[in-house]
């Protein structure tokens, strides 16, 4: 016998099924209508020669161009692995990677163990900010002073008296530029990663996640600076210093170079292999410059009118042949900046040499006030030039690129004729390199990169080199400061 409650349940159950079935049928019909409409749209698009890859729940996406245009505007993937077989890699590049990549994997475990043993708040901060002394930002802040403050001691080069600071400064800038260019080109060509997890990377740079590792640019710069300074000091300055002072200076230079290399390992930014590669580049360019190029370069700057005619196409050529990386590594941006600086520096020194011949420079004893005046005037002019010129270039160059249809095939840059109409004013900051010094490890390299950035950077930094070596020193003499 069924109870009263059971009879009620039997009576209610069919009613539930009857009310649920029509709802299910209504949902199915709606879905079928959407699918049918989508199939009709797809077939129409196929007849018209258009491709469709969207689904009913996804918005239709614009077909991407055949190359990457602006991935730097997005959050890039960390460069923790080398490209696989799907990447278009030359046999030479693949052979180099096959030899070096296992070394990086082995060193990763050693560096992780080293960090486990030595890391502390003091060690992290010391080596992290020590690495900032090897950046191009630090060099751009310090190197102009070699052209703004005469040493008061001259050397005779090809019948002309030249201040020792100026000869040292232009050679040092060329060596640092060569180190940045060749190490950056090697990074982009080989594409080896930095030390892999579990190594912790510590840096003041915002682009550590997209930069390749081998070789170390910091080490190349520190090595070339220390070695060239030691050679130049021994030839031109040592005679006026005591033996103990000479020894102290040489030890300080060697210590600086070693500490920079060590900082790259302790902070997890490079392996020992990267550091050795950077040191080889640094030593190599110094030996070549000191033994074979320095004297001819000085003679050329003082006696030839071909300096501007050679430097402009040479800068364009160096930028054009720089390897294109597999990822949005910003090494190319640094190379462009240093190449432009060298072009302006060579032209500025050439013109300033003519100015000195006709109007001999007067070396005045500088007071503290005059030193501050020179620094304030020089830095203000360089910052004003940078901001003004970038805004002018960002206004004039995009329509020029679109009108002339300038060929540009470098990856990871937005194209003026395809990807953007104008460049926002926020892309021009006061001094982004200085702001990077306060960055944290978690920041990414997110700034958009436009095709006109290359020509803009070349013009801006060429102007900085020209201002620092020619225009600003002449202005100091005119203002009597």
Taking the CA of residue 31 as centre, how many other CA atoms within 13 Å lie in the half-sphere pointing to its CB? Answer: 6
Answer whether 55's CB lies under 8 Å from 42's CB.
Answer: no
Mean pLDDT by groups of 10 residues along the chain of 481 residues: 47 40 42 46 40 38 37 39 48 90 93 93 89 70 85 77 88 94 94 90 70 92 95 92 94 95 92 96 97 92 90 93 84 91 94 66 72 92 92 91 71 80 72 41 54 91 94 89 83
Per-residue pLDDT at 89: 54
Other CB atoms within a 10 A radius of the CB of residue 54 amount to 12
Per-residue pLDDT at 469: 93
SS3 category, 379: helix
Answer whether 454's CB lies under 8 Å from 319's CB.
Answer: yes
Class of residue 458 by CB neighbours under 10 A (exposed 0-12, middle 13-18, buried 19+): buried
Distances (CA, A) of 105 to 99, 201, 203, 264, 270: 11, 15, 21, 16, 12
- Indicate left, alpha or beta for 159 from its phi (over 0: left) and psi (-120 to 50: alpha): left
How far apart, in Å, do the first and last CA atoms of the chain sit?
Answer: 116
Q: What span, in angstroms and rounded, lies between the C-alpha atoms of 417 and 358?
A: 49
Q: What DSSP character marks residue 467?
A: I
Answer whether 379's CB lies under 8 Å from 464's CB.
Answer: no
Answer whether 326's CB lies under 8 Å from 189's CB.
Answer: no
SS3 category, 162: strand
Per-residue pLDDT at 136: 64
Return the bridge partners of 414, or none: 450
Answer whether 474's CB lies under 8 Å from 354's CB.
Answer: no
Which strand (E) or helix (H) includes residue 156? strand 154-157
Q: What span, in angstroms and rounded, lies between the C-alpha atoms of 58 and 42?
A: 14
The answer for residues whose C-beta is within 8 angstroms of residue 75's C-beta and 6 or more apart is 444, 446
SS3 category, 201: coil
Answer whether 78's CB lies under 8 Å from 199's CB.
Answer: no
Per-residue pLDDT at 406: 61
Class of residue 141 by CB neighbours under 10 A (exposed 0-12, middle 13-18, buried 19+): middle
Tracing tokens 């002073």 back to the chain, one arrives at 145
- Residues in the chain, total: 481
Taking the CA of residue 265 as centre, how many other CA atoms within 13 Å lie in the half-sphere pointing to its CB? Answer: 20
Q: Give the CA dihedral 151, 156, 160, 161, nearest 10 degrees.
A: 20
Per-residue pLDDT at 409: 63
183 closest CA partner among 276, 79, 105, 253 = 276
Where do the domains of the chain lie? 91-479
CA–centroid distance for 291 within its chain: 30
Answer whether 412's CB lies under 8 Å from 71's CB.
Answer: yes
| CA angle (456, 462, 379) in 5-degree steps | 100
Per-residue pLDDT at 447: 58
Q: What span, in angstroms and rounded, lies between the C-alpha atoms of 356 and 154?
A: 13
Phi, psi (degrees; rounded to nearest 5) at 379: -65, -40
Answer whether 69's CB lies under 8 Å from 415's CB.
Answer: yes
Phi, psi (degrees; rounded to nearest 5) at 31: -65, -40
Asked, as a colleague might, if the bond just before 198 is cis with ω within 30 of 0, I would say yes
Per-residue pLDDT at 466: 94
Per-residue pLDDT at 317: 93
Per-residue pLDDT at 39: 45
């Amino acid at each position: 016998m069924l109870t009263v409650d059971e009879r009620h349940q039997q009576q209610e159950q069919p009613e539930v099924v009857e009310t649920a079935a029509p709802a299910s049928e209504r949902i199915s019909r709606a879905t079928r209508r959407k699918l049918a409409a989508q199939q009709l749209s797809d077939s129409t698009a196929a007849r018209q020669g258009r491709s469709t890859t969207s689904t009913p729940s996804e918005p239709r996406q614009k077909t991407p161009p055949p190359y990457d245009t602006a991935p730097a505007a997005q959050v890039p993937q960390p460069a923790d692995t080398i490209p696989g077989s799907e990447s278009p890699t030359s046999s030479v590049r693949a052979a180099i990677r096959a030899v070096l990549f296992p070394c990086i994997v082995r060193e990763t475990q050693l560096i992780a163990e080293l960090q486990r043993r030595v890391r502390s708040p003091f060690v992290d901060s010391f080596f992290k900010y020590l690495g900032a002394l090897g950046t191009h930002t630090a060099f751009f802040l310090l190197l102009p002073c070699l052209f703004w403050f005469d040493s008061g001691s001259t050397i005779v080069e090809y019948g002309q008296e030249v201040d020792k600071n100026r000869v040292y400064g232009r050679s040092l800038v060329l060596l640092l530029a060569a180190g940045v260019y060749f190490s950056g080109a090697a990074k982009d060509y080989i594409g080896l990663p930095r030390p892999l997890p579990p190594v912790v990377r510590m840096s003041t740079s915002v682009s550590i996640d997209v930069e390749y590792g081998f070789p170390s640019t910091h080490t190349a710069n520190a090595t070339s600076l220390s070695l060239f300074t030691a050679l130049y000091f021994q030839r031109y300055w040592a005679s006026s210093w005591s033996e103990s002072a000479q020894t102290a200076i040489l030890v300080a230079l060697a210590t600086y170079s070693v500490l920079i290399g060590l900082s790259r390992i302790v902070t997890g930014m490079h392996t020992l292999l990267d550091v050795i590669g950077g040191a080889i580049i640094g030593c190599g360019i110094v030996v070549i410059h000191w033994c074979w190029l320095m004297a001819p370069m000085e003679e050329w700057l003082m006696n030839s009118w071909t300096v501007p005619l050679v430097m402009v196409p040479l800068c364009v050529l160096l930028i054009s042949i720089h390897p294109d990386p597999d990822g949005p590594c910003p090494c190319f941006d640094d190379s462009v900046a240093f190449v432009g600086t060298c072009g302006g520096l060579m032209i500025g020194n050439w013109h300033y040499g003519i100015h000195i011949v006709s109007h001999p420079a007067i070396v005045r004893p500088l007071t503290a006030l005059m030193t501050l005046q020179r620094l304030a005037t020089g830095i203000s002019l360089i910052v004003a030039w940078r901001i003004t010129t970038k805004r002018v270039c960002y206004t004039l160059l995009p329509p020029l690129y679109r009108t002339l249809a300038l060929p540009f095939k470098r990856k990871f840059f937005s194209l003026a004729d395809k990807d953007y109409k104008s460049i926002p004013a926020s892309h021009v900051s006061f001094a982004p390199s200085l702001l990077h010094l306060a960055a944290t490890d978690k920041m990414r390299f997110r700034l958009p990169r436009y095709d006109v950035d290359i020509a803009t950077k070349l013009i801006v930094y060429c102007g900085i080199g020209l201002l620092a070596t020619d225009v600003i020193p002449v202005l100091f003499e005119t203002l009597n400061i």
